[in-house]
Structure 1
Amino acid sequence: MILYLNPFTGLAGDMLLGALLDAGASLDAVRRAVARTGLTGWRLDAEQVRTGPLTALRVRIDVDDDATERPASTLIEMAARTGLPVAEAALTAIAEAEGALHGVPPAEVHLHELGGHDTLIDIVGCAAALRDLGVTRVHSAPLPLGSGTVRTRHGVLPVPAPATLALLRGARVRGGAAGEAVTPTGAALLLAAGTAYGAPPEMELRATGYGAGTRELPDRPNVTVAMLGRPVTEPGRQIVLSTNLDDLTGEVLAHVIERALAAGAADAWITPAVMKKGRPAHVLHVLAPPESADALQSLVFAETGSLGLRRSEVEKVALPRHFETVRLYGHDVRMKHGPWGVKPEHDDLAGLAEATGRPLRELAREALDAL
């Protein structure tokens, strides 16, 4: 599924979670994921509220203590228990951003405002909701930056907060009204989900959700809008997934190709490349039907460990073809006929060569003579 976000007035973790729940994610699935972290003393609910002229879903988190500080490493460890890579990646990104700002290693970062229950619940909750909805691609309109100041443990800081700006590197942004429009939690979630920015991708719209923020604005609803849709399949349309790889052996690359083809790829292949600093590498290409592209993208990430890939839409031109079968040495050999020639199927020839001990190229000639 494709998720498209319209951060109408901004984006925070609780607003995103509310929008995903309103679009159909299971609140029970979210609660179960948070429980797997080992966090105690919390209650998570959601309620319909009125914000301006709209009805939206607002997440409510009640806790039995008001502690807001924890080591970032503790939160990352708790998120890792859930088996939700987006949650672990978002908290890791926060730790790296805070560490860079304060000149300490990420493992030694101590989170103040971001160290409480809310951060962990929002991040794990959103990651669980994305999985429950089957989201494999996230797109977003440009994010409003906001303006003004925000009071933190480190004193008064400009808006956007420095950590937010660090997490928004690579994102598309725009101006916005006064106040904090994007929080570090919201920015970290979009970063961890590999969000693409721009106009909505073509999709078949299936559900919408509105997540309410806590502020009341005088002239507009305070919402994040989530739109959920399926990729549109058109005749001849295919998706090419490509990623550069310089740290995998030939055996692993062959395994990835086999897995991709078994999972529904129309084709998969490797081309050699030379990357920066003269490093030899390979480019993996997977030709995917649109309905299988998201699943194949996940497979490529899981099997290669790549941190990114390119998706491009192509039109596949397939000429008509038909098959007939010839008998050679007691075995069937399929012959593929196209407009410009005929060719025996390699797998059939290879099996026949194994069975008879005859050279494959001679069997190919005999199969053509048998037509």
Structure 2
Amino acid sequence: MSVAFYAPLKPASHPTPSGDRALARALIQALEVGGYEVTVASDLRLYDGAGDTAAQDALMQKATAEIARITALPAAKGWRAWLTYHNYYKAPDLIGPAVARALGIPYLQVESTRARKRLDGPWARFAAAAEAASDAAHTIFYVTQRDAETLRRDAPDGQVLCHLPPFLSRSDLPHTSTLAGSMLSVAMIRHGDKLASYQLIAQTLAALPASLDWHLEIAGDGAARSKVASLMAPFGARVSFLGALTSDALAEHYSKASLLLWPGVNEAFGLTYLEAQAAGIPVIAQDRPGVCDVVFCPLIKQDLGPSGMAAQVVHLSNPETARTTGAQARDRIAKHHLLGAASATLSRTIEAL
């Protein structure tokens, strides 16, 4: 069976690494593992991050041209379904519903979010388009319970909602971490929510007891690098910046990291949590929506703040506690968050159509 795939927010071929790009690629792999031939129907990025109505007009015109181009493709007659990843008010799917209707095939979505409060304001037209695209979907696969709440609330009659837990683009687990290395933080270094997480990390490090021997490695890079460097400056050589790493280089650090320290301020879910736990690394994160769907170590209540995270660092400095906690999380990843489980969920639902 041939399936058309589209990611309006960030194409799977986008050069900048991110969780969005990683999950788009993982979805394609999961479909291929299930025996589907996947065609990336378009690489047109339909993202407006500024609420610029002129930019939205231009993107809508490009989308209209793409619809005409795609429906005229000879290969399109062989598609049996259309799957769109991450439709939301800043990056609505302006293409998939029209193409699916023209071809008479089922239209499906993965990780769509409803935001009707955006129907007023600078993103009003894009928000309306995102809502219309979600309404048009026969089936929406949701990845977090937070997304499921609004999807259920606003679902049209007859729409199918199916849970597809976030997953890694691998069929087996990596080697278990020796837990003999440094603490590790893995994230792009950007302003906004990412910077807020780094601020919490700095406060957590300051709250650690003077007697504790620790070192933190930060994997990632971005526009807020100088700001984060200033936050970490008081800790001197105890904090190292690794820069942006390839997947192989990052895997090497996972193979020995003692724990992953990442609070997760407003994370959708965070693939780094899955990567770390797959290697048996315990995670320290705050109890936040999205994060709680993928972290299987005890989460820190937000009202406990940095002191709560610091106490957990001390708790996990015990090697046996760290091994036991990491092993339990690793087992959950193996059962629910690898390609096999995701492929089975996608295939079972698509076949039912």
**TM exceeds 0.5?**
no
Larger Rg: 1
Q: For CA contacts below 8 A with separation 6 or more, give which structure has more relative contact order.
A: 1
> Relative to total residues, which structure has the larger strand share, 1 or 2?
1
Shorter-chain TM-score category? under 0.3
Structure 1 length normalisation: TM-score? 0.24
